[in-house]
Copies of this chain bind each other. A is one copy, B any other.
Amino acid sequence: MNDPRPVGVFDSGIGGLTVVKALRDLLPNESICYLGDTARVPYGPKSSETVQRYAVELAGMLMRKNAKALVVACNTVSSVALPLLANKFSVPVIGVIEPGARAALQATRNRHIGVIGTRATIRSGAYEKALRATDNNVRVSSRACPLLVPLIEEGLLDDAVTDQMIMRYLQPLLADGIDTLVLGCTHYPLLAGAIARVVNRQITLVDSAQNCAHAVEEMLDRQSLRAAPPNNAQLYVALTDAADNFLNVARDALELSFGEVELQPLP
């Protein structure tokens, strides 16, 4: 098998580059087209209907780039639009929720899992549903952490103010007795170090980006869609509006290299 078409990856903005990083590390032969909707970021506070409409537009733009699969590198979109996308498009569609939920169930020993994310992701209850679909007895404690994305986008990855907000958000989950924490937003892997530092006891962090990349690998194998080595694998990054400061934050923190960012205005 040799399918050199790119994997299409999209997100509300730049945060999904954590998934791109995980995909590059795991699948170095696969070309990737990344599309970030910086013209309308963030999706977290928006309604499900609006997020669904935007997701269909972005997926359509990647399909016109000949994507062989669609990776929804955004928890907010994954939590409200996955069935719709799977229905509308003929290629496989993979989100971040189910892979994260599966990994959390494998990691927990006390069957008590914490989930943090944007307000939209937490309100959707998508992680609880995915966790309970596999294990009806699992306990889930969820918390929306709306200030973490702005703090990350400002590059305050190692900062006293960020540490205080992390503590404030996580305190109730720790008091509840979770032993595993799902980082339910593709920005959050950039704070994995800070979270581990603040939570100074044994909590397993589940990184949705890494688990999503593993799910993509499995799917490509199952559907015979892998690119055969040696493939001149490319990474294209397109944004719907000019990149701001956070692109540099993410590029540096992830040590991700890509060429000129293409500006791809919305229709």
Contacts and interface: CB of A to CB of B under 8 A. Distances in A.
Nearest to A47: B242
Interface in A154-190: 154, 160-161, 164-165, 168
Interface residues of A, number: 25
Interface in A57-77: none
A150 interface: yes
B165 A241 contact: no
A220 interface: no
Contacts of A154: 146-147
B165 A161 contact: yes
Contacts of A150: 146-147, 150
A39 interface: yes
A244 B123 CA distance: 12
A153 B41 CA distance: 16
A40 interface: yes
A2 interface: no
A244 B40 contact: no
